[in-house]
């Protein structure tokens, strides 16, 4: 998968999730708590993200753009996070206890998600059409 496509997926995902968290944090928390009891849907989502991130990191770099490096580094981080969550599903229930103690942090997390999503929209635009290589510099 191209880095630009991955950046767009991450941007859309984080903006949608962040918006829902800000608008209805209680509903999000209760829905996730109900989902944690049934590990299968959580592991399916994590497995999908593992496949998506592997498809990004397995593809060779197209350009030397800094934006592409950020996208690929994020793919590696998401891959490690998903592998960790896949191997230790209790991690989600532990974080839910934390958010139950400090519910205002859930809304802050939603805002941070939206900001990261907007940043990834910017990264998408930078990686979608990388500048063409200067033919005069070839062979240097």
Tell me the average pLDDT across 45-63: 87
Residue 137 has pLDDT above 50, yes or no: no
- Domain boundaries along the sequence of the chain: 3-128
* Residue 134 phi, psi (nearest 5): -80, 115
Tell me the average pLDDT across 115-123: 92
> Where in 1-138 does DSSP place strands (E)?
none
| Residue whose C-alpha is closest to residue 42's, from 107, 91, 80, 5 | 91
Distance (Å, rounded) from C-alpha 81 to C-alpha 103? 23
pLDDT of residue 130: 63
Give residue 66's pLDDT band: very low, low, confident or very high (50, 70, 90). confident
Count CB-CB contacts under 10 A for residue 11.
20
Give residue 139's pLDDT band: very low, low, confident or very high (50, 70, 90). very low
Residue 140 has pLDDT above 50, yes or no: no
pLDDT of residue 134: 42
Give residue 32's pLDDT band: very low, low, confident or very high (50, 70, 90). confident
Q: What is the pTM of this model?
A: 0.77
Residue 57 has pLDDT above 60, yes or no: yes
Residue 78 has pLDDT above 50, yes or no: yes
Count CB-CB contacts under 10 A for residue 76.
12
Tens digits of residue pLDDT in 81-107: 888 888 887 777 777 777 777 778 888
């Amino acid at each position: 998968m191209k880095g630009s496509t991955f950046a767009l997926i991450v941007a859309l995902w984080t903006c949608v999730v962040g918006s829902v968290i800000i608008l209805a944090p209680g509903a999000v928390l209760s829905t996730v708590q109900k989902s944690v009891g049934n590990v299968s849907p959580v592991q399916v989502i994590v497995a999908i993200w593992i496949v998506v991130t592997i498809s990004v990191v397995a593809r060779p770099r197209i350009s030397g753009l800094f934006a592409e490096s950020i996208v690929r580094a994020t793919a590696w981080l998401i891959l490690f996070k998903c592998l960790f969550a896949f191997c230790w599903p209790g991690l989600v229930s532990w974080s839910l206890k934390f958010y139950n103690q400090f519910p205002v942090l859930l809304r802050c997390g939603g805002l941070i998600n939206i900001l990261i999503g907007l940043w990834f929209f910017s990264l998408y635009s930078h990686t979608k059409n990388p500048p063409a290589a200067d033919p005069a510099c070839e062979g240097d």
